[in-house]
Amino acid sequence: MPELAEVFYFAKQWDVGQGQLIADVALHEKSRVFRGCDVAALQSGLIGQKLRAFRTHGKQMLFEFSNGHWLGLHLGMTGDLKSRPQPYTPEKHDHLVLNTKKLALVFTDPRMFGRVQYFCGKALPEPWLKLPPQPMDEGFTLPRVQSILQRHPKTPLKALLLDQRYFPGVGNWMADEVMWQMRLLPTTPAGELEAKQTSALRKTLKKVCEVALKTIGMDWSDPPESWLFLHRWDKNKSCPRCGVGLVKEDLRGRTACWCPACQR
DNA sequence: CATCATGTTATAAT
DNA sequence: CATTATAACATGAT
């Protein structure tokens, strides 16, 4: 389920372990989430270290340890981070557990679309050096948004919003939310936006990210009821703006949800 | 049993 | 080469 705000919230769940010594690292070496990861290095590198800090960017999470090394996590579709008191018995889909004296810091992911990375070296890991600006960041400028749209004129805007190179952190519900708030059909070709709409797109993206961070990201509380968010998974789902029944349809392999009356 | 799920990526087709 | 479209990945819930 994790998009920008959910990722931040999950990363925070390990914060209670900050400053604590990692006494043991339990993992399922053969798990798909370790693809491309040097598991032995991870294990020997983290044992005996203290968890120092974390940061998130879009859907990426990065944890720093006292030796200056780093643990990168991506939650995929079903990943989850939690902390549990000791003694902790790992469950079926717990792929990585950092054990301190008092706590178990757990990474779980049934579908295993998530990913674990280990970075040696004190410098910020290479993938973190040149990240695209998130919608609420300074660098997320109007010219940048304009050039992204111009570069992919035929792509349905909703599908483009899911591209992490351009809109890091935006996932399926946020993309639908933005399209709904913009009153545009998800299939609207990105190149068809007028200048005014492009400016509105930037503002809407920024607002959706900021409000999501203040609610979901802070304490898992709900975004405003006026948003599409709370209604899109209802059984008898209807538009919170006009009451018309919402439509769900596949768009480029993902489910798009929209209001056939409000969105044009 | 069939369908669906808040993500990414390799590969194919324009 | 750049852009666009699709299939595949693995598991659980309904």
Percentage of chain A modeled with pLDDT above 90: 95
Strand B contact nucleotides, protein CB < 7 Å: 4-9
Residue where one domain finishes, among candidates A128, A153, A176: A128
pLDDT tens-place string over residues A100-122:
999 999 999 999 999 999 999 99
A78 occurs within a structural domain:
yes
Give residues 6-45 of chain A lying near strand B (Cβ < 7 A).
Answer: 6
A137 occurs within a structural domain:
no
In this structure, the answer to whether residues A81 and A183 fall within a common structural domain is: no
pLDDT tens-place string over residues A183-236:
999 999 999 999 999 999 999 999 999 999 999 999 999 999 999 999 988 878
Interatomic CA–C1' length for residue A110 and nucleotide C12, angstroms: 8
- Pairing mode, strands A80-85 and A247-251: unpaired
Interatomic CA–C1' length for residue A112 and nucleotide C9, angstroms: 9
Interatomic CA–C1' length for residue A113 and nucleotide C5, angstroms: 21
- Mean confidence (pLDDT) of chain A: 95
Question: Does A65 have pLDDT greater than 80?
Answer: yes
Give residues 170-199 of chain A lying near strand C (Cβ < 7 A).
Answer: none
Residue where one domain finishes, among candidates A101, A128, A155: A128
Query: Tokens 């805007």 correspond to what residue?
Result: A157
Q: Is the CB of A76 under 7 A from strand B?
A: yes
Question: Does A1 have pLDDT greater than 80?
Answer: no
In this structure, the answer to whether residues A149 and A191 fall within a common structural domain is: yes
In this structure, the answer to whether residues A237 and A146 fall within a common structural domain is: yes
Q: Measured between alpha carbons, how far is residue A257 from residues A128, A134, A155 in Å?
A: 32, 23, 17
Structurally, how many domains does chain A consist of? 2
Interatomic CA–C1' length for residue A214 and nucleotide C9, angstroms: 33
Alpha-carbon span A27 to A10, nearest angstrom: 19
Q: How many Cβ atoms are within 10 Å of A63's Cβ, its own excluded?
A: 23
pLDDT tens-place string over residues A145-171:
999 999 999 999 999 999 999 999 999
**C1' nearest to CA of A93: which nucleotide?**
C11
Give the residue with minimal CA–C1' separation from C7: A253
Binned at pLDDT 50, 70 and 90, residue A47 comes out as very high
A264 occurs within a structural domain:
no
For residue A235, give the nearest of A220, A246, A249 by alpha carbon: A246
Interatomic CA–C1' length for residue A74 and nucleotide C11, angstroms: 17
Residue A183 domain boundaries: 142-258
Predicted pLDDT of residue A66: 97
**Prediction pTM value:** 0.96
Predicted pLDDT of residue A259: 96
**C1' nearest to CA of A112: which nucleotide?**
C10
Q: Is the CB of A32 under 7 A from strand C?
A: yes
Give the residue with minimal CA–C1' separation from C10: A111
What number is the average pLDDT over the span A231-250?
A: 91
Predicted pLDDT of residue A232: 87
In this structure, the answer to whether residues A160 and A249 fall within a common structural domain is: yes
Which two tokens mark A102?
Answer: 């008092």
A136 occurs within a structural domain:
no
In this structure, the answer to whether residues A82 and A150 fall within a common structural domain is: no
Q: Coil, strand or helix: which one is A206? A: helix
Q: Which DSSP letter does residue A39 get?
A: H
In this structure, the answer to whether residues A155 and A227 fall within a common structural domain is: yes
Alpha helices for chain A (secondary structure H): 4-12, 39-46, 142-151, 157-161, 172-182, 195-214, 216-219
A209 occurs within a structural domain:
yes
What number is the average pLDDT over the span A6-30?
A: 96
Predicted pLDDT of residue A173: 96
The single-letter code of the amino acid at A37 is C
**C1' nearest to CA of A77: which nucleotide?**
B7
In this structure, the answer to whether residues A12 and A36 fall within a common structural domain is: yes
Interatomic CA–C1' length for residue A152 and nucleotide B12, angstroms: 19
Q: How many Cβ atoms are within 10 Å of A11's Cβ, its own excluded?
A: 21
Q: What is the largest distance, in Å, between two alpha-carbon atoms of chain A?
A: 59
Give residues 38-67 of chain A lying near strand C (Cβ < 7 A).
Answer: none
Give the residue with minimal CA–C1' separation from C2: A151
Identify whether the C-beta of residue A67 lies closer than 8 Å to the C-beta of residue A45. Answer: yes
Phi-psi region of A189 (alpha: psi -120 to 50; beta: other; left: phi over 0): beta
Question: Does A80 have pLDDT greater than 80?
Answer: yes
pLDDT tens-place string over residues A88-103:
999 999 999 999 999 9
